[in-house]
């Protein structure tokens, strides 16, 4: 069975948000949305009497703007969300990495909501090992509530897989210990590997694939048990 408490959802279109809202009723804790969908997400949550957290993804998916420039042009709805997931800029030198994290953290704390939960997405597939470690060191001074590995759920399999995720998590935890959200090309294998102690962020389409693969795995287990039972009966005979 898929543990919905480990599942977080990513929605970037209206249709995905509708699907995510339905899925979240099973117990998912967070839906990440682009700023344009914040109001729609609030209405959907209210109408369905759901309790999930609405997290606004800022500068999704590549983190192309630097620092607080990521917040330019946001609408009033932006200030009504529960938390913020900021996609950090990937191609900065070490000194600028620390400055960006510091400026964004301070901006949210002083200008938006001092109690807001902050998630930083590092887009590990676009970074060197040194860059990932620099982010982790900067988080020590400006601690986020969690770290997300990838913004897009459809990161290339060669750049986001079980082995790569493990390596990234090890680099981060050498310097900073924080809840980590595993995202980017989440397969059933990745879910089984990480969901015990980590959150998994997926699109609605990936969620349905996880359900399908979990059912197949369950059927295979039942078949193996039936075969073992048949063998036991033959031995007794």
For 2-41, the pLDDT digits (tens) are 999 999 999 999 999 999 999 999 999 999 999 999 999 9
What is residue 77's predicted lDDT score, i.e. its pLDDT? 84
What is residue 79's predicted lDDT score, i.e. its pLDDT? 83
Query: For residue 232, is pLDDT > 50?
Result: no
The single residue listed with the structure tokens 């063998």 is 231
pLDDT bracket for residue 226 (50, 70, 90): very low
Domains of the chain in start order, with CATH, are 4-211 (3.20.20.70)
User: What does the pLDDT average to over 108-131?
Assistant: 95
d(CA 22, CA 144): 28
What is residue 143's predicted lDDT score, i.e. its pLDDT? 96
Q: Report the chain's mean pLDDT, rounded to a whole number.
A: 92
Higher confidence at residue 136 or residue 95? 136
What is residue 237's predicted lDDT score, i.e. its pLDDT? 55
pLDDT bracket for residue 231 (50, 70, 90): low
Contacts of 45 (CB under 8 A, 6+ apart): 21, 51, 52, 54
- Percent of the chain's residues with pLDDT above 70: 93
For residue 203, give both structure tokens.
Answer: 């699109």
User: What does the pLDDT average to over 196-225?
Assistant: 88
pTM as predicted? 0.92
For residue 217, give both structure tokens.
Answer: 């795995």
User: What does the pLDDT average to over 188-215?
Assistant: 95
Contact of 6 with 207, CB cutoff 8 Å: no
Higher confidence at residue 119 or residue 231? 119
């Amino acid at each position: 069975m898929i543990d919905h408490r480990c599942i977080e959802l990513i929605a970037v279109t209206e249709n995905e948000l509708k699907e995510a809202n339905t899925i979240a009723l099973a117990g998912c804790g967070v839906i990440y949305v682009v700023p344009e969908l914040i109001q729609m997400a609030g209405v959907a949550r209210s109408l369905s009497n759901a309790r999930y957290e609405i997290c606004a993804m800022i500068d999704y998916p590549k983190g192309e703007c630097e620092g607080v420039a990521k917040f330019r042009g946001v609408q009033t709805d932006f200030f009504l969300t529960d938390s913020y997931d900021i996609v950090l800029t990937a191609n900065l030198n070490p000194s600028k990495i620390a400055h960006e994290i510091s400026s964004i953290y301070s901006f949210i704390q002083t200008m938006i909501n001092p109690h807001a939960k902050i998630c930083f997405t590092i887009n590990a597939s676009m970074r060197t090992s040194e860059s990932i470690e620099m982010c982790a060191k900067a988080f020590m001074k400006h601690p986020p509530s969690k770290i997300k590995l990838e913004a897009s759920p459809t990161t290339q399999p060669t750049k986001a897989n079980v082995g790569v995720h493990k390596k990234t998590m090890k680099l981060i935890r050498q310097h900073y210990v924080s809840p980590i959200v595993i995202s980017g090309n989440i397969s059933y294998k990745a879910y089984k590997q990480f969901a015990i102690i980590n959150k998994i962020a997926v699109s609605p389409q990936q969620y349905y694939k996880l359900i399908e693969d979990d059912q197949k795995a369950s059927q295979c287990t039942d078949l193996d048990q039936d075969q073992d039972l048949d063998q036991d009966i033959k031995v007794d005979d």
